[in-house]
Structure 1
Amino acid sequence: MQCFPIPSFFESEKVDQFWRVPYQKRAEEAKEWGQKYKILPSREDKTKTILLLIDVQNTFCLPDFELFVAGKSGNGAVEDNIRLCRFIYRNLGNITTIAATMDTHKAMQIFHPIFWMDKQGNHPQAGITMISYEDVKQGRWKVNPNIANNFNISVEKLENHALHYVKKLTEDSKYPLTIWPYHSMLGGIGHGLVSSVEEALFFHSIVRSNQTQFELKGDNPLTENYSVLSPEVLKNSQGEKIAQKNTQFLNKLLSFDKIIVAGQAKSHCVAWTVEDLLTEIQRKDPSLAKKVYLLEDCTSPVVIPGIIDFTEQAEVTFQRFSEAGMHIINSTNDTIFNHLP
C-alpha cells in the first residue's frame, strides 16, 4: 500500500487549538492532491477499511476544555491527535471510510452534577465524585426533584430509576457512576471535532469521494453511553426499555475487511466501544477479531493527578483485546498497511 506525504497546510502546533477549517480551499487542494498522487475513489478499494475515531472532540482533546485527556504525559490527547492526523494523511489511499463518534450531552443527565443532591441540597463535585449503590440506598445522594419534569416522569419514578441504575452498574461490573463536569454540550464548542482532525477528515472525504460518517451518542439523560455501540443500562427498574444497542452501526463496522480504532479515552469510551465490538465478534465468529486494529499511540487513558489514574485498567483491557485476537499497532509505521493480512 502506498503512503503519501503530509500536506503542507497541516500544522502540528495548531492541533491544540480550535479554528475554522477553510473548506472550499481544502476541497480544491484535495482534488489536486488526488490527481497528483493518482488516488482512486474509495468505491474502487478491493480491501475495505474503516477508521473509527472515538470522541475526538474539543471537550476531551484540547487542554483548556472540560475533560482534557492528559494521559501519563500530561498532553496525551494533543500528542495522539498529531499522530492521528499524520496517519490519515499518509494513508489517504488506504482508508476507505472514516466514522467519527460524537459524545453528545445536555445539562440534565444522570452523570452531571445537577441530577443529584445531598441532604443539604448541594450538588456533587464534578470530576471527583463517584456515586455507588450504597450511597443512593443510604440517602447520601438522591435525585434532584426539580428536574424530573424534564423527563416527563414523576420524582418517585426517577428515584427508583436512579437506585436501579447504580445497582445495575455494580452487578455488571461497570465503573461506578462518575459525576463528570458538564461536557460535550450539544451546540457548544466543546462538542465539535478538533479542528485539525476535522480538516483531515474533510480532506479525506474529498480525495476519496467518501462521506465522513458521524455517530452521535450519549444524549439519553437516564444512562451513560461510553460505548457508541451500547448504553450502560438498557432498562429501568420496571424492566421498561430506556435505550437500545446501536445494532445498525455495529453491523456496518463488521461489514468492513479491516477496522482501525483510535480516539479518547483509552480507559473509557474507546475501551467500552471495543469491548462491545469484541462481545459481538465472539458471539458471531471469534476469528473476526483479527480484522480489528487498535492504534495504541493515538489514544490515552484518563489521568487526573492526585485524584485518579486509569492507566493500569486501560493496559489490562487492551491486553485482553490482544489476547482475543485484535492487533495492537503503532500509527507511525509507514508500512502498516503492508503488514495487515
Structure 2
Amino acid sequence: MNNQTTTKLPIHFNSDKVGKVWRVPYQQRAAEAELWAEQHSIKPASVDEMRICLLLIDVQNTFCIPEFELFVGGQSETGAVDDNRRLCEFIYKNLGVITKIIPTLDTHTAMQIFHPIFWLNKAGEHPTPAATSITPADIEDGIWQVNPDIANSINSNYELLTKHAYHYVKQLSQDGKYPLTVWPYHSMLGGIGHALVSAVEEAIFFHCIARRSQTQFEIKGDNPLTENYSVLRPEVLQSFDQSLLANKNTRLMQQLLEFDAVIVGGQAKSHCVAWTIDDLLTEIQQIDHTLAQKIYLLEDCTSPVVVPGIVDYTEQADAAFARFAAAGMNIVKSTESICNWLKNCRLC
C-alpha cells in the first residue's frame, strides 16, 4: 500500500445513508477534506505523475435511489445502492491517486421526444411510459402521432416536427439498436432526481477539496429532439433534411484518452454505461486499438436495468462487458487494490 491510498474511510461516511437523499454540509466537509489531505500526505492533483480519471455515468437520484423514477435495481433489486456504497469507498480509499472525477448528468425537460407528452394516439392519450415503444409502422398506421400542442415550445412548426419524429424513429430502427422507448419523466432539470446521489456527491466534493481538483460535470440529454444514452454522442446526429441535429462530444473523447488510465462506473450497465464505453471504444479503434488497455471498468459499481417479471437486461450488459474486455479493456473490482490492476502503475 502506497502513501497515496488508504484502507481508512473518513468518519463522516455512513454506508447506511447511501440510498437516501440529504444535504451535504459543504463547509464542514471542506475543512475536513483539507485536514484529511494533511494527515494522509495527499498532494494536489497537479503534481500527479500518473494521471487517473474517474468517469461516473449518471450517478443521480433518478437512477440510484429506491422509489425514484428509474431506479436501477439489477437482479438483486438493490443494485445501484450497493454499487454506490462501493463507489464511495473506492473514492475515499483512492483519494490520493484519482486525478480528476468527471460525473455525467442525464438532463431533461418535459417536452422531449422520449417523454409521454410528445406523443398522442387517436383518442388523444399519451403513451404509457416504460411500457411503450414507438416504431415507424406505428407512426405510419396512425397509432402514435406528435402532439401538435408542443411544437411551439420546442421552437419548431408542427409539420417539421412530425417529419423529424418519423425520421428519428426510422433511423433508430435502421441502426439496429432499438425502437424509441417512451420513458417516465426523469432526470428533470431543476428537480431532485437530477441531482447526484448525496453520498456520492459528498465523496466527489471531498476529493475536489482534498486534491485541489475541480470536478468536471458533463451534461447530456438536454436536446429535445434526440436521446443521449452515451455522454459521447447522441443517438441520431442528423435530422430528416440532413441538417446537423447534434454533435459528438469530441472534446471529452480526446480529454479521456490523454489520461494514463480511465476508470468507469455508474448506471446503468446495460444502457448509458455500455453505450458510453462503446462510443469510447469506437473512437479508440479509429486511433490506436492499444489505447483500450488504459480503460478500467468497475464491474461492481454498475448494475443492469431489471424490471422483475417484465424485462431483464443482465445478459445484454454482460455480453457488452465481455466484448469490451475482448477489445483490450480491463474488467476490475473496486474492492481490489488499484495498484494490483493498473497496468504500468507508477503509484508505488
TM range (shorter): over 0.9
Q: Does 1:126 align with 2:129?
A: yes
Q: How many Å separate the matches in 2 of 1:337 and 1:131?
A: 47
Secondary structure, counterpart of 2:251 in structure 1: helix
Task: Give how far 1:40 is off.
Answer: 0.9
Partner of 1:105: 108
Name the amino acid aligned to 2:292.
A
Secondary structure, counterpart of 1:65 in structure 2: coil
Q: How many Å separate the matches in 1 of 2:26 and 2:69?
A: 27
Deviation string 1:5-34 (CA, Å, 9 cap, x unpaired) is 111110011001111101111111111110
Partner of 1:340: 342
Task: Give how far 1:261 is off.
Answer: 0.2
Task: Give how far 1:135 is off.
Answer: 1.4
Q: How many Å separate the matches in 2 of 1:308 and 1:148?
A: 33
Q: How many Å separate the matches in 2 of 1:153 and 1:22?
A: 43
Name the amino acid aligned to 1:238.
D
Q: Does 1:91 align with 2:99?
A: no
Partner of 2:70: 67
Q: Does 1:211 align with 2:214?
A: yes
Q: How many Å separate the matches in 2 of 1:337 and 1:162?
A: 49
Partner of 2:239: 236
Partner of 1:291: 294
Deviation string 1:241-292 (CA, Å, 9 cap, x unpaired) is 1111111111111110100000000011101100110000000000000000
Partner of 2:324: 321
Deviates more, 1:145-154 or 1:112-121: 145-154
1:25 to 11, 28, 41: 28
Equivalent residues of 2:332, 2:341 under 8 A apart = no
Partner of 1:8: 11
Deviation string 1:166-188 (CA, Å, 9 cap, x unpaired) is 11111112222111100000000
Task: Give how far 1:204 is off.
Answer: 0.4
Secondary structure, counterpart of 1:51 in structure 2: strand
Q: How many Å separate the matches in 1 of 2:210 and 2:317?
A: 35
Q: How many Å separate the matches in 2 of 1:124 and 1:97?
A: 41
2:146 to 133, 143, 147: 143
Q: How many Å separate the matches in 2 of 1:337 and 1:223?
A: 40
Q: Does 1:42 align with 2:23?
A: no
Deviates more, 1:74-83 or 1:128-137: 128-137
Deviating above 4 A after TM superposition, structure 1's stretches of 4 or more consecutive aligned residues are none
Equivalent residues of 1:128, 1:307 under 8 A apart = no
TM normalised by structure 2 equals 0.96
Task: Give how far 1:189 is off.
Answer: 0.4
Q: How many Å separate the matches in 1 of 2:168 and 2:310?
A: 24
Q: How many Å separate the matches in 1 of 2:53 and 2:96?
A: 12
Q: How many Å separate the matches in 2 of 1:173 and 1:95?
A: 37
Matches within 5 A, 1:253-332: 253-332=256-335
Deviates more, 1:242-251 or 1:128-137: 128-137
Equivalent residues of 2:111, 2:154 under 8 A apart = no
Fraction of identical pairs, as percent:
62
What's the RMSD between the two structures over aligned residues? Answer: 0.9
Q: How many Å separate the matches in 1 of 2:96 and 2:339?
A: 11
Structure 2 gaps, min length 5: 344-348
Secondary structure, counterpart of 2:173 in structure 1: helix
Q: How many Å separate the matches in 2 of 1:131 and 1:116?
A: 10
Number of aligned pairs?
340
Partner of 1:246: 249
Task: Give how far 1:337 is off.
Answer: 2.5
Structure 1 gaps, min length 5: none
Equivalent residues of 2:106, 2:219 under 8 A apart = yes
Partner of 2:197: 194
Q: How many Å separate the matches in 2 of 1:256 and 1:97?
A: 10
Q: How many Å separate the matches in 1 of 2:73 and 2:181?
A: 18
Partner of 2:346: none
Task: Give how far 1:309 is off.
Answer: 1.2
Name the amino acid aligned to 1:211.
Q
Task: Give how far 1:154 is off.
Answer: 1.6
Deviation string 1:283-327 (CA, Å, 9 cap, x unpaired) is 000000000000010000111112211111111111100000000
Q: How many Å separate the matches in 2 of 1:187 and 1:248?
A: 26
Q: How many Å separate the matches in 2 of 1:275 and 1:236?
A: 23
TM normalised by structure 1 equals 0.98
Name the amino acid aligned to 1:3.
T
Name the amino acid aligned to 2:272.
C
